[in-house]
């Protein structure tokens, strides 16, 4: 069993009956329970381990920074206070919350800050829709309650009991990582860089646990989070395509913090330009009209790829160079001169040497190269065996540079 308690968190002033029901079901399963009220109404409630004022005291401005007359700012402030409160504790075996959009918006940021592997579950009426804002890049589970979280009835009792039992199962079945676990390396991959990343993984997995992230926005954010959490000893970030979506209006952006973790932590970093020849959209009809004169490839009925231009790539290269310049660890950024994706090769739809050259030249012009921060031009396609071997060699070089510092 995971040490600590399962925390039942919510607005006990309006959802107390439901939250206490969850807490009782957990206790019946032999799980230690702590309850925390995060209501912003200012009304006191009984029967909780930590009342709202105790949680609010963890806001940088104290409780007065939370209990304002404006609901939106109060919820945001309480959310920050809860994050600080939970992250400062060493007894969080799991967190479960229940409510509507307000509860999900309030509790989910704190859940996202908890380490991967700590059980997290939100019962929310929004769970049947887009929950990306609540889940983020964390391992948060969501459960749709069918009826509103508004009193106990034949439906809500079943669903809330299932939620409690699911949390109990996660807490009881949790086991720590094995003591002899191999050190973990994070890799980024897209369908069009799969041969490269799988080839690198086959070589590295003898000595390392290779965690591969799908570069679809959420994948890039998850890679950054695990690096920030200290779960990775190195980054092999070969597929930086999400940056093209960020700068060119695509739908798979990972946000402007992409490549940020390696700047905050001096991790060995081996990167490349994987799939920077494309910007992602959904079906062809979803592509904005301003791009009508661009080069497209319909990947399938739901995914349309747009070729990046020389101008796009100059901007992308400058953006990446700025991020590389902020990294203090060993950096090796590889430029595959034979093409950056499976579509970028002679005779294939996105082969455009001038566009790739604009990307490489911008990186060369704006990256502040040092003994620790290097650009490496590779006369091979990104999916070629020669490029794979170069990645592995440079990773070993970067890891050696870290141990010698």
- How confident is the chain (405 residues) per 10-residue block, as mean pLDDT? 91 93 97 95 88 95 88 90 95 94 88 93 87 86 89 93 97 85 95 97 96 95 93 97 98 96 96 98 95 93 95 98 97 98 97 98 98 97 98 97 71
Q: Are strands 92-99 and 120-124 parallel, antiparallel or unpaired?
A: parallel
Q: Is 365 helix (H, G, I), strand (E, B) or coil?
A: helix
Query: What's the mean pLDDT when you consider all of the chain?
Result: 94
- How many other C-beta atoms can be found within 10 angstroms of the C-beta atom of residue 28? 12
296-300 β-sheet, strand order: 278-281, 303-307, 296-300
Token output for 154? 């034949």
Query: What is the separation of C-alpha 349 from the centre of its chain, rounded to a whole number of angstroms?
Result: 31
- DSSP 8-state symbol, 380: S
- Tell me what pLDDT residue 127 has: 84
| Helix or strand (DSSP H, E) at 304 | strand 303-307
Query: What are the structural domains, with CATH classification, of the chain?
Result: 5-173 (3.40.50.12020), 184-403 (3.40.50.12030)
- Tell me what pLDDT residue 102 has: 81
- Tell me what pLDDT residue 404 has: 58
Question: CA-based diameter of the chain, in Å?
Answer: 72
- Tell me what pLDDT residue 164 has: 97
């Amino acid at each position: 069993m995971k040490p600590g308690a399962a925390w039942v968190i919510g607005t006990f002033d309006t959802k107390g009956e439901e939250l206490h029901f969850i807490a009782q079901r957990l206790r019946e399963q032999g799980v230690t329970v702590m309850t925390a009220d995060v209501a912003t109404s200012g009304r006191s409630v009984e029967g909780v381990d930590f009342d709202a004022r105790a949680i609010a005291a963890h806001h940088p401005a104290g409780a007065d920074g939370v209990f304002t007359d404006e609901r939106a700012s109060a919820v945001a402030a309480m959310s920050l206070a809860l994050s600080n409160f939970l992250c400062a504790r060493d007894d969080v075996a799991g967190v479960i919350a229940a409510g509507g959009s307000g509860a999900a918006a309030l509790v989910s940021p704190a859940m996202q800050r908890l380490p991967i592997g700590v059980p997290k579950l939100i019962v929310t009426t929004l769970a049947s829709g887009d929950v990306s804002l609540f889940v983020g890049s964390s391992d948060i589970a969501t459960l749709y309650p069918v009826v509103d979280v508004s009193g106990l009835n034949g439906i809500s009792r079943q669903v809330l009991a299932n939620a409690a039992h699911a949390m109990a199962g996660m807490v009881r079945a949790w086991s720590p990582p094995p003591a002899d676990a191999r050190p973990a390396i994070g890799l980024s991959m897209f369908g069009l860089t799969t041969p490269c990343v799988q080839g690198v993984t086959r070589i590295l997995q003898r000595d390392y646990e290779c965690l591969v992230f799908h570069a679809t926005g959420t994948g890039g954010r998850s890679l950054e989070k695990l690096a920030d959490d200290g779960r990775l000893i190195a980054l092999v970030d070969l597929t930086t395509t999400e940056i093209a979506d960020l700068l060119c209006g695509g739908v798979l952006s990972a946000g402007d913090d992409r490549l940020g973790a390696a700047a905050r932590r001096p991790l060995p970093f081996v990167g490349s330009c994987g799939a920077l020849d494309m910007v992602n959209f959904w079906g062809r009809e979803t592509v904005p009209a301003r791009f009508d004169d661009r080069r497209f490839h319909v990947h399938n009925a739901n995914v349309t790829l747009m070729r990046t231009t020389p101008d796009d790539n100059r901007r992308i290269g400058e953006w990446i160079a700025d991020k590389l310049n902020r990294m203090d660890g060993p950096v090796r950024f590889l430029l595959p001169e034979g093409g950056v994706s499976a579509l970028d090769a002679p005779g294939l739809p996105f082969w455009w040497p001038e566009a790739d050259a604009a990307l490489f030249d911008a990186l060369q012009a704006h990256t502040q190269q040092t003994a620790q921060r290097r650009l490496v031009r590779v006369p091979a396609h990104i999916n070629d065996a020669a490029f794979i071997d170069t990645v592995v060699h440079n990773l070993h070089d970067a890891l050696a540079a870290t141990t010698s510092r």
